[in-house]
Structure 1
Amino acid sequence: MNAVALRAGLARGWIEFKQTWTNLDDVVGQVVFVLLFLGTLFFMRNATLPGTSFSLGAATVPGVLGAGVVFQGLTGAAGYLAVDREDGTLLRAKATPNGMLGYLVGKTTALSLAQLTSVVAVLVPCLFAFSALAPDGVWSYLHLLGVLVLGMVATMPIGAALGSLANSARSIGLITLPVMGLGAISGIFYPITALPVWVQDIAQVFPMYWLGLGMRSALLPDGAVVVEIGQSWRPLATLAVLLAWSVLGFALAPVLLRRMARREAGSSVAERRQKAMQRVG
């Protein structure tokens, strides 16, 4: 990997991340996202997991964190690419020596930092609200960090691959809706074992369920495992599925991104801008 492009990409990612905290719209979006989840968890605080005395609100925290990682990894990466393709940023990166490498490093850095910030913003208040979280102290946090990194690796390349296929930023909704549907069946707000078996089978194909399961194994006490499939955290299966999605993403993303870059030209950017102006007009 070119060291100059790597340093430039890391610097670019850090600058883009900082810019999100100087833009009012971005800050409001982050705050609203966190408050919505915290509000939902607050109203669930007095409910308990079926068959246990453990707080349903506390049990939901890891699933919420996992869903956020998947959502940002898929739609965030896809959205970045679609917008930058439409406004000509990708074309300028393509015209610069090692520009595409620096661009991808920068976007990965910015998105990773944004995901870490979101996790911390949700987790820290929940640690005060639910004393049962992270029962193993430092090990719980290290376990959580490992699952988080694996989750980002499993989702961001897939998001980049999907973004390279998008015709415009408006088509990202076609990615957002299925991801939200997965959230409904992946045991985020209620144990997945309460759902029909065939729905459980579908959810277990995708990374959202496994990322939530991995985070629950990191943050919840052993007693909470009774509501999981097979009453087990299934660490080996979690690792295998997330690694499989990582391999799939790293196999698809470079091929699709190279194809997208080859097709980028000044005429295609101008054509997209003209269509956008016609829609506005």
Structure 2
Amino acid sequence: MSAATTHPAAGARAGSTSGRLPGAVRLSLVRAGVEVRQFWRERDAVVFVFAYPILMLAIFSTVFGNEDQGTGVTEVGYAQYFLPGMVATGIMLTSFQSLVISIAVERDDGTLRRLRATPLPSTAYFGGKVLLTLATSLVQTAALLAVAALAFDVPMPTDPADWVTFAWVFVLGTATGTICGVGFSSLPRSGRSASAVVTPVVLVLQFISGVFFAFFALPSWMQTVASVFPLKWIAQGMRSVFLPDEMAALETSGSWQLAATAGVLVAWLIVGLVVAVRTFRWRRRDDG
């Protein structure tokens, strides 16, 4: 067992004067430190996580940069209209896709089995994953917004209320994606197949949720299907932050539906938690 895996629990226990492990919050912070160090060692994953939303925004904005999103209500540039979708898909990639793959790999190579045999509580392991996801999502989103503002002249919100909306949609969306990722991570049969299992799901959701195409231009049946899943609501919540208020008329209900956004994300958070608790496996299927 590697030192990076065993150190958090062993070190915390040795440093406790009472002979007991520290609280779950402290252990989660320690575990998060390990997760962050391991994440930065995976150079290809780091580049993909941080660069993908920026590259997609840059490519599409360059190709369609001279085309405004004519709506009959107002007009905004391509980069401004699709920035919310890129923020949303970045959250999904970091909190859902990356987490599914990393947990499947850790189960496959025996890391989870060894962790399960240490004094480190499962809450600390999952807490470390959540904190890692929040940290990487925050850095990724900050980089994306900076590029959008500096390279593509996308106006940033000036109303503090918009940033409050941004904050709760970001946190709730990240938490929902993380919990759903933990639940979905038991589906791949091995670490090698995890990417093949989760990537098509993410791609389909991106295409039907208003990430690469204007959501109001999609067929109604596709909008209905997308409305079942969190990505559409994260993107819609972000559109309420970065687009003019007049653009709300283009949404399926004629409004931003922020209460519905919160409700759907909370519902998926609860469903994901139930599924994760009932299906999460510390061992591979062939380990018994």
* Same fold, judged at TM 0.5 (above): yes
- Code of the residue aligned with 2:29 in structure 1: it is L
Question: 2:168: which partner in 1?
Answer: 146
Matched, 1:104 2:123: no
Question: 1:209: which partner in 2?
Answer: 232
Where 1:231 maps in the other structure, the secondary structure is coil
Question: 2:149: which partner in 1?
Answer: 127
Pick closer, same or farther for the CA change 1:118–1:110 going to 2, 3 Å.
Answer: same
Which residue of the other structure, out of 37, 41, 47, is the alignment partner of 2:67? 47
Which residue of the other structure, out of 219, 230, 243, is the alignment partner of 1:196? 219
Matched, 1:248 2:267: no
- Give the Cα separation in 1 of the matches to 2:50 and 2:271: 33
Matched, 1:25 2:44: yes
Question: 1:228: which partner in 2?
Answer: 251
Which structure's residues are more often helix, by fraction? 1
Conserved in 1, the CA contact under 8 Å of 2:80 and 2:242? no
- Which of 113-122 and 72-81 deviates more? 72-81
Offset at residue 252 of structure 1 (A): 1.4
| Percent identity (aligned) | 31
Where 1:165 maps in the other structure, the secondary structure is coil
Conserved in 2, the CA contact under 8 Å of 1:5 and 1:98? no
Matched, 1:182 2:205: yes
Offset at residue 120 of structure 1 (A): 1.0
Pick closer, same or farther for the CA change 1:190–1:26 going to 2, 3 Å.
Answer: closer
Offset at residue 221 of structure 1 (A): 1.7
Where 2:185 maps in the other structure, the secondary structure is helix
- Code of the residue aligned with 1:87 in structure 2: it is D
CA RMSD in angstroms comes to 2.3
Pick closer, same or farther for the CA change 1:86–1:246 going to 2, 3 Å.
Answer: same
Pick closer, same or farther for the CA change 1:176–1:251 going to 2, 3 Å.
Answer: same
Matched, 1:159 2:169: no
Conserved in 2, the CA contact under 8 Å of 1:80 and 1:107? no
Question: 1:169: which partner in 2?
Answer: 191
Count of residues in Structure 1 that have an aligned counterpart in Structure 2: 264
- Which of 13-22 and 228-237 deviates more? 13-22
Offset at residue 224 of structure 1 (A): 2.3
For structure 2, the residue ranges without an aligned partner over 5 or more in a row are: 1-20
Conserved in 2, the CA contact under 8 Å of 1:86 and 1:169? yes
Pick closer, same or farther for the CA change 1:101–1:176 going to 2, 3 Å.
Answer: same
Question: 1:268: which partner in 2?
Answer: 287
Normalising by structure 1, report the TM-score: 0.85
